[in-house]
Amino acid sequence: MQKPLTYALLLAATLGLAACGDKPEEKKAAEVREQAADVAKEASSAVEQKAEEVREQAAETAKEASSAVEQKAEEVREDVEKKQ
C-alpha cells in the first residue's frame, strides 16, 4: 500500500519540478534584466565622468573670474591713486 503512494508522490513531485523549470521566457527575462543592469552601470559611469568634467570646468572658470576681479580691482586702485 505504501509503494503506490510513494510512487504517486514521487511522480507528482517530479512533474511539479519539471513544470517549474527554466522556461525560455524566464531565461529571456533574466537576460533582459542583466542587459538593463549593464546599461545602468554604463550610464552611471558616463554621468560620473561628465560630472567630473563639469567640476573641472567650473573650477577653471572660477579661477579665471577671480583673476579678472583682481585685475579690475588693481586698475581701480591705480585710478584712485592717480586722482589723489
Candidates 12, 28, 31, 10; CA nearest to 20 is 12
* pTM of the model as a whole: 0.53
Over residues 19-58, the pLDDT tens digits come to: 666 677 777 888 888 999 989 988 988 998 999 999 999 9
Place of cell 537576460: 31
Residue boundaries of the structural domains of the chain = 2-83
Place of cell 514521487: 10
